[in-house]
Chains A and B, each alone.
Chain A
């Protein structure tokens, strides 16, 4: 066994304008419980139904960062950068609309820019990434800057 894995796209394979759409994933109360318990993010907005009933959304909402964590997983399942991704450089996220458990999210991405870095063996690809619910409403708009390997000779 060596270090080789299925190889996704290298920097050279990526073209501005490339797009993807992920499969859906339904966010369950279990997801929320696991997330809040593990992160220690027990804000009553996410964990206290009696409190949440009296608030604007009238029920508990899904922690915003959980929606985004699941979105990252959904994108990863497309195996676009398997074995070629070196990590995230930056992420900007605007949350537009709250989400409730039972919502099913899909993620749409579009490559908007490619950038060189000061290291010649890697580059940065910048995607516009939108998280949508089952009604096609945008839950979050974001940008991801991903460090990707270049091809080796």
Chain B
């Protein structure tokens, strides 16, 4: 009896939707935004090669697009925030990017404590 119940719980965990299901993508987007800010900060300080910076921008943007398109509720506040982040130019100021990161982090914390 316990085994089928366990399988049901695992299936529910894997197939759920809504903000709690989106939490992983919000976290992913928040982290990508923070990685982007760190890359731009180090690039401004001339610590990185231009090839690395360009490649990282491309991969970070791809990751952000995937996170955005994976949301089950794209019309939510966090969906809008991720889209705004995605619309930033590649060489956006680290402070601007961190502003988006902080907003996503607040949403993430609210969802986790709910």
A-B interaction: no
Using a CB–CB cutoff of 8 Å, the interface residues on chain B facing chain A are: none
